[in-house]
């Protein structure tokens, strides 16, 4: 039964040369690719690109070679600077473009049709100078005419205060790493943003978008001497409830736990790009 559902999804969301339907996009009904919590406390984040300007980044090849899923985290907190860079590397804006409905922003990760259906939430367990709790990443601010603007962007909106480490662990099929991580990134899709253009096929694309964001995050974590592990094993209803989303209009897709590795990587600094191996955590 389950297998049939998966097969039906794959086949019914396929493109077939002889059965391509033509339809016009209605730009007036294009959803905005931003979500705001207007009553939340907004916490600005440090400039994430300072390290790039200062030239203190780990080179890409080393990050790729050293990335491994890390599931054992120590008790040391992340810094807000690290959190800021992780958010930017996975979901931040990098340049702007024009659309028939106004200015848009390209982001660090690619997105089908530049529709950016993915929202980023972070469950903060241990981050310096940041109260534990649930936060939503504000990608950009909007001006009075609801046009996106740079000011007010790259900030956190505080949704819940308090220790949520147990809740996020339980939601993630009781995986202890989610309680031990300094922070757990949780990605949801606002399906309508992508459905506007791609209709049922959008349900394929949102997962791909989230995967790109997770990939950026995992490489950025290595560059910051942090460990990370993707998590797709979670109870959808419990995770949606934790985020305060309905699972229909907006639903959880994916997570990543990030923290200071409990054990340093023995191969650090001795990367052999022909063959790299790293013990499993």
Ligand X SMILES: Cc1cc2nc3c(=O)[nH]c(=O)nc-3n(C[C@H](O)[C@H](O)[C@H](O)COP(=O)(O)O)c2cc1C
Angle formed at CA 41 by CA 172 and CA 95, multiple of 5 degrees = 80
93 vs 26: CA distance, rounded Å: 25
Are 46 and 81 in contact by the 8 Å Cβ rule? The answer is yes
- Region binding ligand X by CB under 6 A among candidate stretches 9-17, 140-148, 231-239, 267-275: 231-239
**241 sits near ligand X (criterion: CB under 6 A):** no
Integer CA distances (angstroms), 11 to 2, 7, 23, in order: 14, 6, 20
| Nearer Cβ to ligand X (175/194) | 175
- Binding ligand X (rule: CB under 6 A), the pick from 123, 164, 206, 231 is 231
Q: Closer to ligand X at the Cβ: 63 or 139?
A: 63
CB of 69 to ligand X, least distance (A): 3
- Between 153 and 239, name the residue whose CB sits nearer to ligand X: 239
- Which of 150, 226, 224, 133 minimizes the C-alpha distance to 186? 133
Q: Tell me how crowded residue 78 is: count the other CB atoms within 10 A of its CB.
A: 25
Question: Does the protein bind ligand X through residue 229 (CB under 6 A)?
Answer: yes
Nearer to ligand X, 84 or 239 (CB): 239
Tell me: does residue 232 bind ligand X (CB under 6 A): yes
**Does residue 267 touch ligand X according to CB under 6 A?**
no
Q: Taking CB under 6 A as the rule, does residue 233 contact ligand X? A: yes
User: Which residues in the 52-91 window bind ligand X by CB under 6 A?
Assistant: 68-69, 71
By CB under 6 A, the count of residues binding ligand X is 9
Structure tokens at 254: 């994916």
Q: Could you tell me the smallest distance in angstroms from the CB atom of residue 263 to ligand X?
A: 14
């Amino acid at each position: 039964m389950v297998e049939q559902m998966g097969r039906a999804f794959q086949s019914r969301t396929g493109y077939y040369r002889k059965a391509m339907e033509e339809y016009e996009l209605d730009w007036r009904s294009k959803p905005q690719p931003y979500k705001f919590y207007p009553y939340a406390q907004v916490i600005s984040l440090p400039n994430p690109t300072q390290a790039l300007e200062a030239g203190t980044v780990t080179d890409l090849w080393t990050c790729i070679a050293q990335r491994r899923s890390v599931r054992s985290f120590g008790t040391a907190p992340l810094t807000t600077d690290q959190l800021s860079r992780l958010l930017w590397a996975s979901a931040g804006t990098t340049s702007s473009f024009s659309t028939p409905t106004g200015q848009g922003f390209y982001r660090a990760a690619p997105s089908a049709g530049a529709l950016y259906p993915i929202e980023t939430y972070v469950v903060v367990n241990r981050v310096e100078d940041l109260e534990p709790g649930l936060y939503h990443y504000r990608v950009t601010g909007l001006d009075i005419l609801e046009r996106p603007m740079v000011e007010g962007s790259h900030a956190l909106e505080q949704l819940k205060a308090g220790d949520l480490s147990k809740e996020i662990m339980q939601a993630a099929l009781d995986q202890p790493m989610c309680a031990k991580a300094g922070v757990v990134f949780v990605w949801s899709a606002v399906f309508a943003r992508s459905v506007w253009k791609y209709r049922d096929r959008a349900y394929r694309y949102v997962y791909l978008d989230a995967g790109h964001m997770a990939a950026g995050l995992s490489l950025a974590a290595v560059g910051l001497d942090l460990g990370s592990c993707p998590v797709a094993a979670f109870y959808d209803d419990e995770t949606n409830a934790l985020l305060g989303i309905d699972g229909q209009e907006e639903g959880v897709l994916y997570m990543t736990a990030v923290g200071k590795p409990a054990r340093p990587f023995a191969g650090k600094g001795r990367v052999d790009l022909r063959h790299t191996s790293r013990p499993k955590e």
